[in-house]
A and B are shown apart, each in its own frame.
Chain A
Amino acid sequence: MLSTLAIQALTGLASASSLFLVASGLSVIFGVTRVVNFAHGSLCMLGAYLGWSVLSRLPHDPASFAAGVVMASLGVALFGAALEATLLRRLYRAPALLQLLATFAVLLVMQDGVQHIWGPADLPLPRGVWLRSFVPLLGERFPFYDLILIAIGPLVLLALWMVMARTRFGVLLRAATENRDMLSALGVDERFLFTAVFALGAGLAGLGGALSLPENSANLGIDLRVVTDAFVVVVVGGMGSIAGAYLAAVLVGVMQAMGILLLPKASLVLVFVLMALVLVLRPQGVLGQKQTQENDGERFHRVRAAPPWQRIAGLAVVLLALAVGLAGGDFARSVLEEMAIAVLFAASLHVLLGPGGMISFGHAAWFGIGAYAVALTTSTLAAPLPLALLAGVLAAGAVAAIVGLVLVRLSGVSLAMLTLAFAQIAWAVATQWSEVTGGDDGILGIWPPSGLGARLFFLLCLCLSVGGVLLLRRALFAPFGYALRASRDAASRAAASGIDGAKLRLAAFALAGAAAGLAGGLSTFSKGSVFPGSLAIFRSVDALAMVLLGGVQSMVGPVVGALAYTGLFDTLLLASDYWRALLGITLLALILWRPQGLVK
């Protein structure tokens, strides 16, 4: 058993190396530019595809392999530099969340781009004899290539350390990570430094992608899989810390391998539990430095009630939806239900992002918990629809309140990452606890009772969505909302006036969670089913995109954003096989055109 554990640990170490390469790139980029690069997994994926293209044309000997891998890595570095110079450079002054959304758009575009160039099929790299060889180790056959991977991690770590310690570039890099103001004092051309750093990070990601080829084919799923793992590693290790990234990569890699041996049913949830634990106990990560509060410079705009024309327009939209939904066909109704649900979901996130001043990166958790609670109470307890919906609201609100106890102590990127960790835990539970949740099969057949009728359910959906949004709006314009906003605008002023910001934020979390849970519950009945996708990272990003597109300053923003985004999504999904790229490009255009959102 001991030797088995040792073999498993070594296997984990091998996967840790690839993970480290990708995560260290992400960490370096974050440290200097403060951009949370969602497209980092896509850079890794690009490395794998470029590597495949190069390596499948080269002879199958070790030297050619090394040369090919380096070429792929350099290719991705060049791509990264171009990406930084043409796009990201324009966004450094934008709010952090908007940068994240922009890099998410890049992810969408790259996914379709890679698919367009290389096709959708997985591309396994033919393995030369040396890549198949093994060494006898503890009575087992251990892949020789895994040993090489194990060695590469520390070697790259050492190389990066040398660069940091011995070169002017490294000094500037550290200076930028630790204190950005120092850069201008040193008289450094920030633009060059940022481009170089992005190229370095991209090159590392590309290296990780190319090196994974002998064990994993180049495929279109790499981007999302890698980027979530890399987030975990960077958060656990500490944002901006390369040594921390290595430590965390080893921890995650070994834990995953051990999990498969010892707890195969819980292999997905483990890493996110680790991430959550670290964030709770040490928000800056194992080797990270405490982030200084950066929100001080943020300008908040006057929040006013919507002017009469907006109210009339809103009423007109609701009446229009009512007319189309009641007179139109099933499909029109299902689209309208989806929009109504999206509006409520986006409005609930707005409570956190706007007046709450909290970046939530895992809002899908509450949506999904509501959706599952509704499905489970209906399928196992045969609860009638109103009770099921109530259960969804209460479950999501209660879990949000409990999780909120931990969340409200954090702020900024740490908070965003912890919300992500919780959402991923919920997602992993939904995926792997198949006895209860049905796993990837989901829970099916949760339709509204046949007595209700499709039109009546649509009416209910519309009423609850509009009603929910109006209730949230009331709360935000009531003393509660003002106090929440006061605490966001000037936390110490609010506290000195006896306003308990933490408690208000906790309530905001519960409120937003409950509203999102209602949206999730409605979606279960609208689609007749629920799947882990309702908790997945994509859904959280959807919500963010809606709120940011519309504008975070007012309640009207998320409503307009939700309608625009859902409409855009549906149109593009049905109009083109390249809907991801089109969606990404549209998002980028909107971000560059209207960084404050559609509704000013």
Chain B
Amino acid sequence: MSLNRRTLLATTGAALTAGALRPAFAAAAAPIRIGEINSYTAIPAFTLPYRKGMELAVAQINADGGVLGRPLELLVRDDAGKPDDTLRLAAELVGEQKVDVLAGGYLSNVGLALSDFALQNKRLFVAGEPLTDALVWQKGNRYTYRLRPSTYMQALMLVEEAAKLPAKTWATVAPNYEYGTSTVKWFKQLLLARRPDVKFVADQLPPLGKIDAGAVVAAIEQAKPQAIFNVTFGADLTNFVRQGNTRGLFDGRAVVSVLSGEPEYLEALGDEAPSDWIVTGYPVVGVTDKANTDFIAAYKAKFNEAPKMGSVVGYSLIKSIAAGIAKSKSTDQDAMAAGFAGAHFATPFGDAMWRAQDHQSTLGTYVGRTALKDGHGVMVNWRYVDGASALPSDDMVKTLRPAG
């Protein structure tokens, strides 16, 4: 079922052509160009559904008359997970393709690099997936907006649950880059604030995509923690879980895990998906509210498969950009940088908005537990946590965000 790139490119082409040819637009209405950069070959499990989500949103918006009377046009680039390549592509999108909005990013370090590029070149950058809170706080700038709940927010959502566990000794395992270190930092800080009796006994920071899972699992086992906080994802997560299962690392231990409830990561685990982990994710088969089911139906109709978390992020990203431009009434960079703040937009998870104080959106995520059903991992006992409820006070944000 995995789409290969050829078919993917073909569908993109078709979608864009269809959009551009729609008679609703006057011939003179130049499209609004969104230049999007993401790790399509490095993190395909997430970014391919994400790309489809974007395409769905672009098609819907163009069918409804576009934004400011102009159709949206999407230009997609693959950064292969390398921040150096990303900057080259950003320069090309801005300099050659004259895009109006720069968007995208998956890895947090790539996101930070793009944000720095945006500041230097005074271009709007709307980050979809990069989770590090540095993007909107420590290194936040007036040109950068970020959609998904941050490392702080995800950690906070999970700490609510983790603090209720009896476990007193914890081990952490996280990929060794901004996202991993930032999430672990917040988890420790927030958990210790609620549970001063807790101790962290082991920290593993395997390089992203290169986990030596057997050795990492054995090293954690050796520390004998009562609970484990996991931040790995994708291929690292699959290898970690497999070794952990065989070696019994998860037996009798609570595991709290970021993003692991997202279908793209659960799916790869197949029937080895863990049970009863506390996770953030997207219970795509369980949701019943109208925003979600409408989105799922439209997505299935277009792509003949169920959406994943990436689909939601890609879809919402385009919606949020469209709303921001509509509110700014212009594609002037400074007008948009100011005008996005306060814009409301519809997402599959319900209404969300761009906060003025830190350019973080209030899109939330689901918190629940994993379970194994018919040989597949699913999320159960979930609840939606609105992003707005997982953010610190405005005063705290002020201290965290020097850029103001």
Contact = CB atoms under 8 A, between A and B. Distances in A.
Direct contact of A and B (CB under 8 A): yes
Interface of A: 1, 4, 7-8, 11-12, 14-15, 115-116, 118-122, 124, 126-127, 132-134, 140-143, 145-146, 214-217, 219-221, 225, 256-257, 260-261, 264-265, 267-268, 329-332, 334, 338, 431-432, 434, 439-442, 444-445, 447, 527-529, 531, 533-534, 570, 573-574, 577
B208 A440 contact: yes
A445 B116 contact: yes
Which of B109, B178, B243, B245 has the most A CB atoms < 10 Å from its CB? B109
B5 A119 contact: yes
A444 B40 CA distance: 23
B113 A140 contact: no
Interface of B: 2-6, 9, 40-41, 44-45, 48, 78, 82-85, 87-89, 91-92, 94-96, 108-109, 112-113, 116-117, 119-121, 139, 176-178, 181, 203-210, 212-216, 218-219, 221-222, 234-235, 238-239, 242-243, 245-248, 268-272
Interface secondary structure of A, over-half rule: helix
Given A141-B246, A260-B212, A122 B219 contact: no
Given A120-B5, A122-B268, A141-B247, A260 B95 contact: no
B83 A260 contact: no
B11 to A, nearest CB: 14
B239 A216 contact: yes
B8 to A, nearest CB: 9
Contact of B120 (A124, A257, A447, A574): A447
Contacts of B203: 264
Given A260-B212, A261-B222, A124 B116 contact: no
A433 B2 CA distance: 37
B91 to A, nearest CB: 5
Given A8-B219, A440-B177, A127 B242 contact: yes
B44 A127 contact: no
A330 B95 contact: yes
B207 A431 contact: yes
Given A215-B239, A216-B235, 16 more contacts: A4-B222, A118-B4, A119-B44, A140-B247, A143-B247, A225-B210, A267-B206, A267-B212, A330-B95, A332-B95, A440-B176, A440-B208, A444-B139, A528-B117, A531-B84, A573-B88
Contacts of A267: 206-207, 212
Contact of B215 (A225, A261, A265, A329): A261
Which of B3, B218, B270 has the most A CB atoms < 10 Å from its CB? B218
Nearest to A225: B210
A261 B219 contact: yes
Contact of A577 (B9, B89, B117, B176): B9
Contacts of B269: 124
Contact of A134 (B95, B216, B246): B246
B2 A11 contact: no
A441 to B, nearest CB: 4
B4 to A, nearest CB: 4
A431 B208 CA distance: 11
28 contacts: A115-B41, A119-B2, A119-B3, A119-B44, A120-B5, A122-B45, A122-B238, A132-B245, A141-B246, A141-B248, A142-B247, A215-B242, A221-B209, A257-B215, A260-B204, A260-B216, A264-B219, A267-B212, A330-B121, A331-B92, A431-B176, A432-B207, A434-B181, A439-B181, A440-B177, A441-B109, A444-B116, A528-B120
A528 B119 CA distance: 11
Contacts, number: 197
Given A8-B219, A442-B109, A527 B239 contact: no
A116 B5 contact: yes
A23 to B, nearest CB: 17
A331 B177 contact: no
Contact of B243 (A215, A221, A256, A264): A215
A133 B87 contact: no
Given A14-B214, A431-B207, A334 B91 contact: yes
B204 A122 contact: no
B39 to A, nearest CB: 10
B41 A260 contact: no
Contacts of A115: 5, 41
Q: Which 5 pairs between the two chains have the least Cβ-Cβ distance?
A: A331-B95, A440-B177, A120-B44, A257-B215, A260-B215
Contacts of B178: 439-441
B270 A330 contact: no
B113 A529 contact: yes
A444 B141 CA distance: 13
Contacts of B48: 120-121
A331 B91 contact: yes
B177 A441 contact: yes
Contacts of A14: 214
A528 B247 contact: no
Contacts of A124: 235, 238, 242, 268-270
Contacts of B206: 260, 267
A256 B215 contact: yes
Contact of A120 (B40, B84, B85): B40
A331 to B, nearest CB: 2
B216 A439 contact: no
Contacts of A265: 205
A118 to B, nearest CB: 8
A334 B84 CA distance: 13
A529 B212 contact: no
A488 B329 CA distance: 68
Which of A120, A126, A533 has the most B CB atoms < 10 Å from its CB? A120
Given A146-B214, A445-B116, A531-B82, A440 B234 contact: no
Contacts of A219: 209, 235
B45 A121 contact: yes
